[in-house]
Amino acid sequence: MKKYTLRIYPDSVLRDTALTVKNIDDKTRSLIKSMSDIMYEHRAIGLAAPQIGVLKRIVVMDVGEELITMVNPEILSGFRNEHLEEGCLSLPNTNVNVNRNVNLFVRYIDKNEKEIEREFKDLSARVIQHEIDHLNGVLIIDHAPVSDRLKFNFENKLKKT
């Protein structure tokens, strides 16, 4: 199995957009296993493939209920917003208040190639939005007010839109 390492900001791969996964083969399943191992090793609740240097649209998460694997996830809709503080494995010692949907409807393909549409709430919804941001090269610092960006010296390192 290939050895992956967690990428830390300002690693440029964290700003790239991940590519759609065309098929789920043994190599993809091995990547998913590595991602979940790294997530659990770091006692995290979510991880996106770009965080280990792989530009594929894959997310793993476990908020204490079960391991969920999402390939090519897309948010169909969301509602009820809430500001909460978030951290990120790729931005150690950085916490940012981020406004996210509390309820979320998502479509994705699981590791067994089954297409799923499912509702997520609260922490699960927040984690999914955070990880999908990673798939699009967006980090929590991009959600921070200008004053916080200056405090953390991130003003010149934001995602170019």
Contact predicate 34/52, CB 8 Å:
yes
Q: Is the peptide bond before 50 cis (omega within 30 degrees of 0)?
A: no
Catalytic residue set: 131
Query: At 95, which helix (H) or strand (E)?
Result: strand 91-109
Phi and psi at 141, nearest 5°, equal: -65, -20
Tokens of 27: 């190599």
Q: Does residue 122 sit in helix, strand or coil?
A: helix
Alpha helices in the chain (DSSP H): 26-41, 122-135, 146-151
